[in-house]
Amino acid sequence: MNARPLTVPCLLLCTALLAGCGSPGGRPGEGTGAGGAEGHPVTIDNCGREVVVDAPPERAVSLDQGSTEILLSLGLADRIAGTAKWTDPLPEELAAEEEAVPRLAENLPSYERVLEAEPDFVSASFVSTLGAGGVADRDDFEELGVPTYMSPADCTGKDNGTGGDGTREEPLELDTILTEVTDLARIFGVPERGEELTAELRARVEEAAEGVEASDTVLMYWFSDSEAPYMGGCCGAPGIITEAVGARNAFDDTRDEWPQINWEAVADRDPDHIVLGDLTREAQTAESAEDKIAFLESDPVTRHMKAVEQQNYIIVSGQALNPGIRTVEGIEQVAAALEEEAG
């Protein structure tokens, strides 16, 4: 369980309780404003609990990069009071908007630090962020009158109690990822923007996958860590990418989200291509694609793998390998690499 003080300073409690009293901004005609706004209160069935949001949030804290990217893509930068847990840079089209959003921490912030931002809504991409060992439990925020939202991609058809990054009982689907987009758009009183974004993302997937023939191609996904590497299992974001391009995942026989696999087992699978997460954080060894390639080409176990000898690397962002809207970017990048190889 996450260790933290049993009491929270009175000032923080007061500011958190009062955070929802203002009137949020937004585009005219999209149902924004104080309590009584069109479409509010909103009730969402989210990861086994009922979330009620009385008015569009104006001081949201998004505790994972994936959640922040959705809010920015919905044009809600002015309603984000803080973000945290970053793996790599944003796409160019979102970077300018993100500059004005306060970062509470590069990794996991404290509960008190989040309360200092006076949130009226808290969202997260991972159960581990709002749970044992994370920032706080969802109940801790909701007892202060601050509603919380968890990405359905990390709770639908997934057992997070198996250790590590959890186990997929059912394969993750793009529809589940897009549910987060439409839910957040409703919560913030901008449902039209949610519909537009989901339609755009679906169109991008269809366009990227069209004409790709990779049925004989085996892919392997390496997220991070050169000592005990995290390799993509069958059924998370790498599964969505693999299915979209019609390829096969070298570790499609494990339902663990990101199992740690020894290098002998990795070399034994000998994939055609290795998809490398290019991270800029510094939480594990071999975070960047450059460091990953240097390791693969120097290690006596891996340097003779087919993909390494032929330098068949496909570099994607770390967020493309997490369940979120950047997974669509991952599909595009993997599809483009396979098409280029096919000539």
| CATH number of the domain residue 274 falls in | 3.40.50.1980
Backbone angles phi, psi at 44, to 5 degrees: -120, 130
pLDDT at residue 11 tops 90: no
- Give the Cα-Cα-Cα angle 186, 118, 195 (nearest 5 degrees): 15
pLDDT score for 8 = 40
- pLDDT of the residue at 282: 87
Q: Of 181, 203, 225, at which residue does a domain stop?
A: 203
Residue 3 lies in a domain: no
Task: Decide: 56 and 188 in contact? Cβ < 8 Å.
Answer: yes
Residues 178 and 318 in one domain: no
Question: How far is CA 91 from its chain centroid?
Answer: 14
Taking alpha carbons only, the member of 97, 79, 94 closest to residue 25 is 79
For the chain, the domain total comes to 2
Q: What is the mean pLDDT of residues 285-305?
A: 97
Mean pLDDT of 68-73: 97
257 shares a domain with 198 = no
Range of the domain at 293: 213-342
pLDDT tens-digit map of 117-138:
999 999 999 999 999 899 999 9
pLDDT of residue 343: 66
Sheet order of strands, 60-62 included: 103-105, 80-84, 60-62, 121-124, 148-150
Q: How confident is the model at residue 293 (pLDDT cuts 50, 70, 90)?
A: very high
Same-domain check for residues 327 and 299? yes
Residue 178: the pLDDT is 98
Q: At which of 153, 184, 203 does a domain end?
A: 203
Per-residue pLDDT band for 191 (boundaries 50, 70, 90) equals: very high
- The answer to whether 123 touches 154, Cβ cutoff 8 Å, is no
Q: Which of 147, 169, 203 is the last residue of a domain?
A: 203
Report helix, strand or coil for 273: strand
17 assigned to some structural domain: no
Specify whether 34 is located in the same domain as 168: yes
Put simply, whether the predicted model's pTM sits higher than 0.75 gets the answer yes
* pLDDT per residue as tens digits for the range 149-166: 999 999 999 999 998 999
190: in domain: yes
Check whether residue 185 and residue 279 sit in a common domain. Answer: no
- Is residue 182 within 8 Å of 193, Cβ to Cβ? no
pLDDT for residue 257? 97
Mean pLDDT for 43-72 is 97
Question: Cα 239 to chain center, whole Å?
Answer: 15
| pLDDT surpasses 50 at 115 | yes
The yes-or-no verdict on residue 10 having pLDDT over 80 is: no
Query: Taking residues 265-273, what's their average pLDDT?
Result: 98
Same domain? For 182 and 242 the reply is no
Q: Once rounded to an integer, what is the mean pLDDT over residues 27-47?
A: 67
43 found inside a domain: yes
Per-residue pLDDT band for 27 (boundaries 50, 70, 90) equals very low
101-104: long-range contacts, CB 8 A cutoff, minimum separation 24: 101/68, 101/72, 101/77, 104/61
Instruction: Give the pLDDT score at 283.
Output: 86
Does the structure show a pLDDT above 90 at 35? no
- Break the chain down into helix, strand, coil percent, rounded to 5: 35, 15, 45
* 23 inside domain: no
pLDDT of 28 strictly over 50: no
Whether 82 is in a domain gets the answer yes
CA distance 215 to 273: 13
Give yes or no: residues 284 and 314 share one domain: yes
- Asked whether residue 33 carries a pLDDT value surpassing 90, the answer given is no
